[in-house]
Amino acid sequence: MKTILPLFKKSPPQKILLITLRYLGDTLLTTPLLNALRAAYPDAQIDVLLYDNTKAMLAGNPAVSNLIAVSAKPRRAEYIQLLKRIFRQYDLAITTQTSDKVAAYAMLAAPVRIGFVPPKPQTGWFKRYIFSRFLETESEKTHTVLELLQLCQLLPILPAYDLTPPRVEDGSFSVSDVVDSARYAVLHVMPQWRYKQWTREGWIAVAHYLHVQGVQVILSGGPVAAEVDYLNALLADMPEGTVNLAGRLSLAQLAQVISGAQVFVGVDTGTTHLAAATQVPTVALFGPTDPVKWTPWPAQYQKSQSPFVTHGSQQVNNVYLIQGQKDCVPCYLEGCLRNRQSHSECLDTMNSQQVIDVISSILKKNAERGE
C-alpha cells in the first residue's frame, strides 16, 4: 500500500471546515467522518457548512464546534455574508461531494483542501487543481459512509465507523410527553419522493398486527403539509391509540422517541437512517435503490466493506433490509416511470406478511431479552 505523508507536518490544523450541502440522510452519514476528525484533532475547531434545512441532523453533535447554515438557493446578500464568514478562516477545508459550488467554497475557505472529484478528468477537470489531495467518486460501488471515510486516507487519520444521531441537550423533552405506552413501534410511512413509497394497505396491516401484539403504533413524519395530511387521513384506518407525530418534534426529539421503540419500520429515507443510528431494530423497505450504497448503516458495524449486498432481503446487526422481489430490483432508477413522483412496482407488490414476519422475529427477540 502506498504511504501517504501527513498534510500538516509541523502542527495539526486548528480550524477545519467540512462542507456537505446534501439531504438530511446524507448529513447523518457524514457523522463517522466528523467523529474521525474529532478523534484525530481533539483541540481543533471543526465547523460544518450545510443547508439550513439539514442542520437539525447535527444538533448536539459533540464532534462539531459550529454549524454554518445556508439556504439551498441563497440570495446575493446571503452569499456575501457567507463568504465573509468563511474566507480564509480555516486551515483545512473538506468537501463531501463533487459540485462546483462546494469546490469554490473550499477554495475560498482554506489553503489546504481535500475532497472528491468526478471520475472522468474531462468532467470538472479544474477541481483537480483546486484540491491539495483528492479522490475520485466511486458511484454505486461503495456504501456512502465508507466512501466518505476514504477521505481519512488523504490526511491520513484513522476512520471511525459509528453514526451519531442528533441529541436533545437540555433535558427538556421526555418520550412520555408524546407516547402513552412503554411498548411502542415507530412507523415512517412517507418518503420524500413517491417512487420510494410502500402501499397504504401494507402499513395498515403492519399497524394492526402490532396492535394485536400489545404494541402502540407511533407515526413519524415531517412538517410538510402533504405529509401531515396523508398521515392524518391514514389514522382513520389505524388501530385505536395510534399517535401521529408528524411535524410535532425536532429531529433530536424524534431520535429520542425512536431509540426507545420495540421496532422501527420505514421506507428508504433519512429517518430510517436516523433510526438505525439510534441502535433500535430497524426494518428498512427498499425498492429501486441499491442496498450496497444506501442501506441504513448498522449499529456497531466496524468493517471497511459495505454491510449489505445488492440483491435480497438481509440482516446486519440491528438493520433488517426487506427488498422488493421483482427481477429488475434494484434498477437504480426513479420509479417505473423514471421520475420521482412515479410508483415503483417492486414496492407496490411487497407482501405485508413478509414485513410482519420480520417484525414478529424482532418482538420475539425483545421478549427473550425482557424488553
* Domain limits, the chain: 15-154, 175-368
User: Coil, helix or strand for 348?
Assistant: helix
CATH topology (fold) of 15-154: Rossmann fold (3.40.50)
Whether the domain at 15-154 and the domain at 175-368 fall into the same CATH topology: yes
Name the pairing type of β-strands 92-95 and 112-117: parallel
pLDDT tens column, 257-300: 999 999 999 999 999 999 999 999 999 999 999 999 999 999 99
- The burial of 124, by beta-carbon neighbours within 10 Å (0-12 exposed, 13-18 middle, 19 or more buried), is given as middle
DSSP assignment of 33-49, as one string?
HHHHHHHH-TTSEEEEE
For the chain, what is the radius of gyration of the CA atoms? 21
Helix axes 225-234, 200-212, angle to 10 degrees: 50
- Angle of CA points 133, 135, 140, to nearest 5°: 165
User: How distant is the alpha carbon of residue 269 from its chain centre?
Assistant: 7
- The burial of 361, by beta-carbon neighbours within 10 Å (0-12 exposed, 13-18 middle, 19 or more buried), is given as middle
pLDDT tens column, 115-149: 999 887 666 778 888 999 999 887 677 999 999 99
Sequence-ordered strand ranges (E) for 243-300: 243-244, 263-267, 282-286
Q: Which amino acid is at 43?
A: D
What pLDDT does 2 receive?
60
What pLDDT does 344 receive?
87
In the block, cell 471520475 appears at 119
What's the order of all strands across the beta sheet hosting 282-286? 243-244, 216-220, 184-188, 263-267, 282-286, 319-323, 314-316
Helix (H) or strand (E) holding 212, with range, is helix 200-212
What pLDDT does 72 receive?
87
Cell of 94: 473538506
Cell of 195: 417512487
Residues of the chain with pLDDT under 70: 1-3, 121-123, 139
DSSP label of 148 = H
What pTM was computed for the model? 0.94
Cell of 277: 443510528
Question: What is the architecture, at CATH level 2, of domain 175-368?
Answer: 3-Layer(aba) Sandwich (3.40)
What is the C-alpha separation between 156 and 154, in angstroms, rounded? 5
User: Coil, helix or strand for 226?
Assistant: helix
